[in-house]
């Protein structure tokens, strides 16, 4: 398909600028934290499309949670990929916080989009429960006399509100008719769905003498690590798709189709991608690979974090290191650790 390749190359250039989720840099800047004393200036957030800007201005009080959501998404990504060749590194000096890795429609892009949109839904839901945002989802769904919604029938679940915010904000820029947009939309949705799927129901009986005559149940948000594990599984089993172009009245439209008909078609819960990942062994500024040189590897492991695989067969250096460490610690539940100092000797293996 030479035509297809040519098309992608042509569009590739301007696509990079328009499609990169630069607004993720919210997660890096401290000024966007919810504990900041200054309100967020929407105009100062880089890379917002007009719809996002509008959203930000209307709902400025939930923007700290959006920032927080991207942040926990990135943290979780770094946790899940900690021993792999690509370890979800963020670049500090660029607005494109993951570097050029996300320019291609790879599995990694799919995962990052999914976890970031899941993070936004998660953090917004949480901030609703904290009371940090006043516009969370009460009142709308319930019947009863108008204006009395909450007093008449209680509240709706806030996870729907969190998902809605994530959909409105994170998907706002993915409205182009090209394949990449469709892929990002799909993966964002997969991330949000994972949050809703992992809500668990808890119940309390409080009838006569505490009997189960009256039982009230509520949905409780999971630990975000659970979402990370789940999306990591989805990353490992992500579906490859191919891009199809159709001529429609509004111009060329690209749609996605499963590549292999003999596999099960990806559902809305699966991550999809259509470009192969670089191997991330050697540094390559074009693909955004940092290479694995000087990465610490695990000499006893045969997995991806083992020195063979992580160093891509280049071998590793070993040095011994003396480290001062805290030991025999007494922890309090919060904020206080009393420790002794011990010196331990470690063998540190790094890739050549």
Binding site for another protein (CB under 8 A): 33-35, 79, 126, 128-134, 136, 138, 142-144, 148, 150-155, 158, 202, 204, 206, 208-210, 212-221, 223, 225, 329-337
Beta carbon nearer to another protein, 6 or 152: 152
Beta carbon nearer to another protein, 257 or 302: 302
Segment (H or E) for 321: strand 316-331
3-class secondary structure per residue, 22-72: HHHHHHCCHHHCCCCCCCCCHHHCCCCCHHHHHHHHHCHHHHHHHHHHHHH
Beta carbon nearer to another protein, 80 or 109: 80
Give one word for 266, left, alpha or beta, with left for phi > 0 and alpha for psi -120 to 50: beta
Q: How far is the CB of 216 from another protein (least distance, A)?
A: 4
Beta carbon nearer to another protein, 208 or 345: 208
CA 151/CA 136 separation, integer angstroms: 16
Beta carbon nearer to another protein, 3 or 35: 35
Q: How far is the CB of 302 from another protein (least distance, A)?
A: 16
Segment (H or E) for 316: strand 316-331
Q: How far is the CB of 143 from another protein (least distance, A)?
A: 7
Q: How far is the CB of 109 from another protein (least distance, A)?
A: 26
Q: How far is the CB of 223 from another protein (least distance, A)?
A: 4
Q: What is the largest CA-CA distance in the chain?
A: 75
Please, what's the b/e burial string for 249-275 (b: 16 or more CB within 10 A of its CB; e: otherwise)? eeeebbebebeeeeeeebeeebbbbbb
- What does R_g of the chain's alpha carbons equal in angstroms? 23
Strand partners, 218: 202
For the chain, what's the residue count?
352
Q: How far is the CB of 329 from another protein (least distance, A)?
A: 6
Cβ burial of 147 (10 Å; 0-12, 13-18, 19+) is exposed
Q: How far is the CB of 209 from another protein (least distance, A)?
A: 5
Beta carbon nearer to another protein, 77 or 96: 77
Beta carbon nearer to another protein, 58 or 317: 58
């Amino acid at each position: 398909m030479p035509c297809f390749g040519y098309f992608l190359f042509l569009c590739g250039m301007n696509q990079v600028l328009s499609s990169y989720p630069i607004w993720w840099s919210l997660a890096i800047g401290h000024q966007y934290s919810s504990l900041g004393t200054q309100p967020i200036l929407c105009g100062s957030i880089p890379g917002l499309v007009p719809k996002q800007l509008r959203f930000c201005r209307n709902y400025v009080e939930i923007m700290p949670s959006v920032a927080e959501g991207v942040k926990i998404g990135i943290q979780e990504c770094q946790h899940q990929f900690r021993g792999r060749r690509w370890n979800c590194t963020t670049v500090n000096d660029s607005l494109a916080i993951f570097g050029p890795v996300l320019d291609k429609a790879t599995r990694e892009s799919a995962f990052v989009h999914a976890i970031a949109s899941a993070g936004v839904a998660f953090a917004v839901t949480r901030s609703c429960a904290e009371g940090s945002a006043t516009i969370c989802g009460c009142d709308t769904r319930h019947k009863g006399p108008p204006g009395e919604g909450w007093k008449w029938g209680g509240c709706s679940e806030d996870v729907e509100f969190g998902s809605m915010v994530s959909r409105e904000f994170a998907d706002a820029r993915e409205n182009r008719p090209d394949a990449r947009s469709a892929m990002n939309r799909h993966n964002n949705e997969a991330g949000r769905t994972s949050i809703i799927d992992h809500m668990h129901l808890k119940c309390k009986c409080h009838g006569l003498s505490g009997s189960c005559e009256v039982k009230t149940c509520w949905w409780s948000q999971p630990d975000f690590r659970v979402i990370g594990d789940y999306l990591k599984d989805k990353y490992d089993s992500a579906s490859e798709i191919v891009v199809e172009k159709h001529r429609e009245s509004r111009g060329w439209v690209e749609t996605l189709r499963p590549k292999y008909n003999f596999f099960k078609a990806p559902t809305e819960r699966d991550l999809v991608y259509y470009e192969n990942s670089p191997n991330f062994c050697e540094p390559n500024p074009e693909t955004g690979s940092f290479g694995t040189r000087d990465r610490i590897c695990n000499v006893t492991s045969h997995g991806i974090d083992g020195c063979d695989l992580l160093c891509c067969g280049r071998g590793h250096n070993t040095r011994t290191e003396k480290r001062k460490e805290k030991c025999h610690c007494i922890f309090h539940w919060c904020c206080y650790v009393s420790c002794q100092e011990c010196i331990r000797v470690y063998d540190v293996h790094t890739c050549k």
